Amino acid sequence: MNYENIGGHPIIIYYGETTLKGNFPLALVIGREPNDEDGMSNQIGQYYFESSPHCAFWNTSHSMFAKSIDQSTKWLKEQFKINKSSPIVYSDALPTTILNKEKDKNAIRLGILDKDIEQHITNLFSHMEIIKRIKIVFLSGLYDSNLKWKVSKGLIIAKCKTLGIESIEVPFFYPTNSREIIKKVDAEDKMELLIDILQPWRIPVKE
């Protein structure tokens, strides 16, 4: 398992001792829904990228950050491992879990009630121990063609504006989208913010 099981998939996942180590800034990456069957929990928990070294979503988002400081994904992950912490935290737009093997994910998504999405986003932004450190939110692959993502995305963007958090819509974090993701980040002048967030990890730390 690549995340901490706390009676369901955590609503926010973080790496290592991120919640215990100081107050360095964070970036929140919001995907669609977890590839899971345990349901969603309103708790935060850890993720372990070592357990899923080939996870395309995690690797592509880590690659975006690594490229902002002209480093490799492998190098950046190693710094996070040495430091036992990372500025990258993850969450999901929808309050459900769907296994990748499901053939018609949209049918499941369309069955989610708007009020449940609203409660999910309220829950997400209630975890102020994490949210107060977020400097930017990446909305990954939440295209308006899916009405449920549109509901969730609107709520997230509104929350970000209220809290003074930057937000940006990017293509889904998948290797074939890497170039377009970088172009979008550059076009919206967010690259410097990524560099600032990574400042504590730009100088290699020895064990």
| Least confident range of 127-136, 142-151, 153-162, 181-190 | 142-151
CB contact at 8 A, 73 and 10: no
- CB burial of residue 144 (10 Å; 0-12, 13-18, 19+): exposed
Res. 207 pLDDT band, cuts 50 70 90: very low
The three-class DSSP label of residue 43 is coil
pLDDT computed for residue 45 by the predictor: 93
Average pLDDT in the chain: 90
Res. 4 pLDDT band, cuts 50 70 90: low
**pTM for this entry:** 0.93
- What does the alpha-carbon distance between residue 102 and residue 124 come to, in Å, rounded to a whole number? 25
Cα distances from 187 to residues 48, 65, 69, 191, in angstroms, run 31, 16, 17, 9
Q: What percent of the chain has pLDDT over 70?
A: 93
Cα distances from 188 to residues 64, 76, 166, 169, 191, in angstroms, run 14, 23, 11, 10, 8
In 10 A of CB 52, how many CB atoms? 15
CB contact at 8 A, 102 and 34: no
Res. 200 pLDDT band, cuts 50 70 90: confident
**Taking residues 35-54, what's their average pLDDT?**
87
Amino acid at 175: P
Contacting residues for 99 by C-beta, under 8 A, at least 6 apart: 35, 36, 37
